[in-house]
Structure 1
């Protein structure tokens, strides 16, 4: 006898990286791929899982992650166990810091800093470290290596953009999707280390001052850009 997949179950699974498909009985399994760097071992394992539990293919997301669609509800725990044993991360959803959206600034001729390294560092420091910390809502970070802004840092909760060699600008309060808000750039330019400190302050400020269900940009609107800016860059 099959288990009834209630709305409560679907919502719980969504927060763990299992997204219900519109057929109501299958799921996409989201896998975080830091900086979009896929090794041979990882791609082989994902292909194996897709063939064993899905329909033999996987898709790439806008944030350079991977999704395996058409996985059955009863196979989700097995899929997570096999992926985790291979060093892959199931997740990237829920009211928490999301996987980091980045560009190819490390190798791109326009890149002004090592975006791939920053993305991997941020994945460890913010995605993994804060994974079990529930925020008022999702918190998205985008990293752009230059003014071309390929990952659209102005449209993320917090966005980093290369301005000069080794120096970045920081946008806060952007949002994409059904509601679109263009973020504003805070004053000054920052070293990569300083940018990381600003990100950490933004996450903690959001945790303390955001209202449940409120997105970070809406909090910035409610409290005022100048107040939030002041709190994020003090002592920098």
Structure 2
């Protein structure tokens, strides 16, 4: 009988800040739970995948978080917010808003993996138009895009859903969008396909800020 322990895959990153970085302390705690032949998978969404013992999941996550690592489930969940590097400064490019969005939505269960992205200016380094939900800060307000698709012959930019939102309006609109997808999306239906099926005008009407 095999005594191989059950493993679970976990996504981790260093949180939202000036670039996607990990400290030596964070790398050391990750290495603590790896064998010499194990590998870390680096995703395009600023995350690392690591496999840990399922029966020690809570304990290990607690240790990771004590070093400042953020931990997320892998699978049909909202992924952590992909961001730009905030090259013009935290306040000017809305880092507090990005952190709040990530806190509110990452890890929420959805019909299929949902990728949100944020950029602090119209240059668009965070590629918000090429992801499922995209947020772009324009001067002092935020524009919200939906339905972007980065891969395949049918790749396309997202559609502007709402513009000139303040942070509270933005949070409310994103929360409502995800709730609509949770309630009406088909199992394993990608968000860009859901947007086309459900209809951009229906989404716009149901997320309207009063």
Report the CA distance shift for 1:225/1:112 in structure 2 as closer, same or farther (over 3 A). farther
Alignment of 1:46 onto 2:27: yes
Q: Give per-residue Cα distances to partners, 1:1-41, cap 9 Å, x unaligned.
A: 43689xxx88xx4xxxx1xxxxxxxxxx421432156574x
Alignment of structure 1 residues 1-236 onto 2, 5 Å:
1-2=1-2, 13=8, 18=9, 29-35=10-16, 40=23, 43-50=24-31, 53-55=34-36, 58=40, 60-68=42-50, 75=53, 77-78=55-56, 81-87=59-65, 88-105=69-86, 108-109=87-88, 113-127=92-106, 131=107, 134-164=109-139, 166-178=140-152, 180-235=155-210
Q: Can you list the C-alpha shifts for 1:16-73, whole angstroms capped at 9, x where unaligned?
A: xx1xxxxxxxxxx421432156574xx41432431552338756543322344xx5x7
Are residues 92 and 175 of structure 1, via their aligned partners in 2, closer, same or farther at CA, if it must alter by over 3 Å?
farther
CA RMSD of aligned residues (A): 3.1
Secondary structure class of the residue paired with 1:161: strand
Aligned residues between the structures: 203
Where do 4+ consecutive residues of structure 1 move more than 3 Å?
Answer: 36-40, 54-61, 75-80, 110-115
Unaligned runs of 5+ in 1: 19-28
Whole-Å Cα distance in 1 between the matches of residues 164 and 148 of structure 2? Answer: 19
Which structure: greater helix fraction?
Answer: 1
TM-score (normalised: structure 1): 0.71
Residue 198 of structure 1, CA deviation: 1.0
Unmatched tracts of structure 2, length 5 or more: none
